[in-house]
Structure 1
Amino acid sequence: MSVKSAFDLVFRNAVTRASPAAVDIGIADGRIAAIAPRLACEAVEIELGGRLALSGFVDTHIHLDKACLLGRCGHDNVSLTEAIRAVAVMKRDFTVDDVYARGAMVIERAIVSGTTRMRTHVEIDPRIGLRGFEAVKALKRDYAWALDLSLCVFPQEGLTNDPGADELLVAALHDGAEAIGGCPYVDTDPNAHITRIFDLAQTFDIDVDLHLDFDLDPSWRHMDEVCRQTEQRNYHGRVTIGHATKLSALPPDRLKAATARLAKAGVSVTVLPATDLYLMGRDATHNAPRGLTPAHRLVADGVLCSVATNNVQNPFTPFGDASLLRMANLYANAAHAGIGDFDTCLDLVTDLPARLMNLKDYGIAVGNPADIIVLDTDSGTNAIAELPDVLMGFKHGRKTFERRRPTLFRPGTRPSPSP
């Protein structure tokens, strides 16, 4: 097939998840204008040689404001409560410039790892005030050339029990926050906490994204109240619960019932493998539980799910590089995903989180923004299995980064001098 048109850029011989046979992708005015074999044009060409092109990874849950704190505390915190306490002490001294600098380091790592869309959760309370929010707003503006950043504000240390937090949340919502979250498990009145978050979400017509049920005790949970509120307020498709580690502790029959409840209410689940694996089950002396909710199995039963980064190098997770491909691979390992599940594991960091964030213009399709990354592999299954390099990325058709493929110097060859 030959399609002749005016393009600014053409990717030659790309493999997409919709088309395993190589196609060309034509870009015009920052958008995908055509997808077909052998496009006829005189545009700039990039030969992909059968490599996989994606619309970029989508990170639905990351904390830019409290990232990269390794040098500020001993990181001997062995529980969620201790991690919250450690950051609560530190964030009193956070400045706008400090949060910006640390957040920028993570964003730049995410960009070169292929992330093109991101929702960051920003702590709002009397200790940090709006300083973190101001910093992340600036990051959103300054990195728009490579990444779409959405701000979800939330009270990490409670709401009904933390005077002043509510007023600060409202101020941030008036100032452009695009979603609201909460942590009912740290509040003295969890149901009132949930109700207030939903009230604010409805008032400002924004989505809800909660940190929820972050332990392994299945005898109680807040999930049912979230589902009830979602249905009562007709918020189907606009509510997400993060962590939800209690689901990992349920026997099959109870997990099946909980999954059906989530699917019926239209509540999504974000699994955060690095933090969940690091913090859950730490009190076990042996045979430690993983604490990882089986997102790919929930997806098969009708629940919209994502896998995301959460924390990077802080007391909650003292490692990380903001690579969602690495996170999907970690998830696949820890969740005992079979080879037949690998494509779903890639979905968990691409198409499914895009749906979770209600992004209407995501994907390699004609008319969508030319947000494209190229992986050094030829299929979605191999992307999870091989952990290939992300070779290059584009935002609205403009190249944002490039990584050279490694070169082997066999005996008898002479390496070129390093630049």
Structure 2
Amino acid sequence: MNESITLFNASLPLQEVGQLYSITIRDGVYQKVEEQSGFVKREGLSFRELENDFSQVKDVDAEGRIVLPSFVDMHTHLDKAYSLKEVPNKSGTLFEAIENYHQKAHTFTPEMIKQRVYRQALESLSYGTTHIRTHVNFELDISPQLALDKLAAVIEVKEALRDVLTIQIVPMLSDVASCTKEQYEVIQQAIDLGIDGIGGAPHLRANPEENIDALMRLAVDNGKFLDLHVDENDDPNVCTIEPLIKKTIAYNMQGQVTAGHLCSLAAMNHEKANRLIEGMAEASIHAVTLPGANMYLQGRFDQGVVRRGVTRIKELINGGVTIATASDNVHDPFHPFGRGDLVQIGLLTAYAGHLASETELLHLLRMMTTMPGRIFGLEHEIKEGAMADFVVVDSTDMYDLFASMAPTRYLFRKDRWLNGFKTVRMINDPFLEDKWKSMEAASVKI
């Protein structure tokens, strides 16, 4: 891109609430991010005209709408997306989901896996997500070749989409502590294919601490980060986060370990939970909450007051732990709903975590953007010199953003506008249509 583009009258709440900015981009980089003295008038398309000609857009009037760093989805399962019809889950429990998917895994061809990954990745992109970390099933116990072929299929999609979407791939390695020499060789082949991190769910194993140690050594030996499913259980006695804290410090892996779910942390007594949160902060272990899947799967055996399984979001925030919120599963036996939309996930997080003050909503926006960006390894802010990745949403304040879920969004990635997500309200009555348009026009005035 030789010419620059400018987005003006933009609201950047992560910089300063109530302040309008002008943003100039050249060669895919933020050249200028400048405060305005107030609303300005100049040549340029309005937000609502943006859809008409993406390729020629140079200057855009955001009309006070919120502009955020593009979304970063830190915990997904792209290879399982849209598999619900093939793999039902009648009880709605985690254990049936695991068992049913395992029984069907041999029937999923690499082509089927690629189609799922493409579908969910592109849907997430349409909602404003440009960075995704996906955990990929690695069914070594079924067939080493099957495990490698499926992983290669996900890697193929990652490479095909790399110009518009950055995907980190984390294979879920099971019972590594008990692997044979031959199985370790297969795991090494998987690493050599081009994965980004080491994953697993050691709390599901009979010997979780030994598996944490084996996974940690695998990560250290191969220069990879570690991203684990941790304590996805209602039982407060399930506590593998404790040995994970110890191993992180012992292996000098501070800042390179991420713990997803942490459901049992919510069921523990406050003294123990606070001690563990302090340990996570000391070890610089990142946390990811998955409110959609956890509220769906957890508490299935409770009666009366049903636990919802979401981790201690506020306590982790207040304890200084870097925490992100993410979409997890979409239309599969682990979570039959969702769509890979981080605004929708943000709304669920706000409900589940009782996040509603201005300060809390600002932190929630960071949990969808800059904080997962930090975990991902990005400099992911709207500031001069950084790569230009941002999403413009059809809302002028944070409360409306989550209340309406901003149905129209436009995404800018590196050096170009990408086709965003748009819904059109249909009203088949001239009088009502006229009133609706008048209301819309009034809503964008500063």
What TM-score does the superposition give when structure 1 sets the normalisation length? 0.91
Matches of 1:378 and 1:318, distance apart in 2: 32
Aligned to 1:34: 32
Distance 1:402 1:64, change over 3 A: closer
Q: Is the 8 A contact 1:342 1:385 kept in 2?
A: no
The residue type equivalent to 1:261 in the other structure is: G
Matches of 1:78 and 1:413, distance apart in 2: 43
The residue type equivalent to 1:167 in the other structure is: E
**Aligned equivalent of 2:343, options 322, 325, 339:** 325
**Aligned equivalent of 1:93, options 100, 104, 107:** 107
**Aligned equivalent of 2:122, options 74, 97, 108:** 108
Aligned to 1:226: 244
Aligned to 1:268: 286
Distance 1:387 1:413, change over 3 A: closer
- C-alpha deviation, 1:200, in angstroms: 1.2
The residue type equivalent to 1:54 in the other structure is: L
Aligned to 2:8: 12
Aligned to 1:158: 175
Bigger Cα displacement from structure 2, 158-167 vs 175-184: 158-167
The residue type equivalent to 1:346 in the other structure is: L
What TM-score does the superposition give when structure 2 sets the normalisation length? 0.86
Aligned to 1:3: none
Quick check: 1:350 aligned with 2:399?
no
Matches of 2:403 and 2:187, distance apart in 1: 42
Q: Is the 8 A contact 1:159 1:187 kept in 2?
A: no
Bigger Cα displacement from structure 2, 127-136 vs 239-248: 127-136
Q: Name the SS for the 1:372 alignment partner.
A: strand
Distance 1:392 1:134, change over 3 A: same
Q: Name the SS for the 2:187 alignment partner.
A: helix
**Aligned equivalent of 1:65, options 79, 85, 98:** 79
Aligned to 2:437: none
Matches of 1:41 and 1:174, distance apart in 2: 52
Matches of 1:10 and 1:322, distance apart in 2: 29
The residue type equivalent to 1:8 in the other structure is: S
Matches of 1:241 and 1:233, distance apart in 2: 16
Superposed CA deviations along residues 327-383 of structure 1, whole A, max 9, x for unmatched, are 110111122223242222222111111112222x21111111111111111244543
The residue type equivalent to 1:28 in the other structure is: R
Question: If each structure's helix is expressed as a fraction of its own residues, which one has the higher value?
Answer: 2
Q: Name the SS for the 1:242 alignment partner.
A: strand
The correspondence of residues 20-419 of structure 1 with structure 2, limited to 5 A, is 20-36=18-34, 37=36, 44-126=58-140, 127=142, 128-155=146-173, 157-161=174-178, 165-340=183-358, 341-359=360-378, 361-404=379-422, 406=424, 411-412=430-431
Q: Is the 8 A contact 1:32 1:364 kept in 2?
A: yes
Distance 1:228 1:385, change over 3 A: same
The residue type equivalent to 1:352 in the other structure is: M
Distance 1:135 1:348, change over 3 A: same
Matches of 2:317 and 2:243, distance apart in 1: 21
Q: Name the SS for the 2:175 alignment partner.
A: coil
- C-alpha deviation, 1:118, in angstroms: 0.8
Superposed CA deviations along residues 170-199 of structure 1, whole A, max 9, x for unmatched, are 212122111111111222321221111111
The residue type equivalent to 2:19 in the other structure is: A
Distance 1:76 1:394, change over 3 A: same
Bigger Cα displacement from structure 2, 405-414 vs 92-101: 405-414
- Gaps (5+ residues) in structure 1? 1-5
Matches of 1:378 and 1:319, distance apart in 2: 28
Bigger Cα displacement from structure 2, 125-134 vs 232-241: 125-134
Q: Name the SS for the 2:338 alignment partner.
A: coil
- C-alpha deviation, 1:239, in angstroms: 0.5
Matches of 1:191 and 1:183, distance apart in 2: 11
- C-alpha deviation, 1:390, in angstroms: 4.2
Q: Name the SS for the 2:31 alignment partner.
A: strand
Superposed CA deviations along residues 273-307 of structure 1, whole A, max 9, x for unmatched, are 11111111101232211111122331121111111
Matches of 1:8 and 1:68, distance apart in 2: 40
- C-alpha deviation, 1:244, in angstroms: 0.9
Q: Is the 8 A contact 2:89 2:96 kept in 1?
A: no
Q: Name the SS for the 2:72 alignment partner.
A: strand
Q: Is the 8 A contact 1:153 1:169 kept in 2?
A: no
- C-alpha deviation, 1:7, in angstroms: 4.2
Q: Is the 8 A contact 2:11 2:64 kept in 1?
A: yes
The residue type equivalent to 2:353 in the other structure is: A
Matches of 2:345 and 2:80, distance apart in 1: 19
Superposed CA deviations along residues 230-262 of structure 1, whole A, max 9, x for unmatched, are 111111111111111011112322222121111
Q: Name the SS for the 2:19 alignment partner.
A: coil
Distance 1:81 1:8, change over 3 A: same
Give the root-mean-square deviation of aligned CA atoms. Answer: 2.3
Q: Name the SS for the 2:176 alignment partner.
A: coil
Distance 1:227 1:39, change over 3 A: farther
Q: Is the 8 A contact 2:127 2:420 kept in 1?
A: no
Distance 1:300 1:390, change over 3 A: farther
Matches of 1:413 and 1:310, distance apart in 2: 40
Q: Is the 8 A contact 1:372 1:395 kept in 2?
A: yes
Superposed CA deviations along residues 126-147 of structure 1, whole A, max 9, x for unmatched, are 2341122111111111222321
Q: Is the 8 A contact 2:114 2:157 kept in 1?
A: yes
The residue type equivalent to 2:190 in the other structure is: A
Q: Name the SS for the 1:116 alignment partner.
A: strand
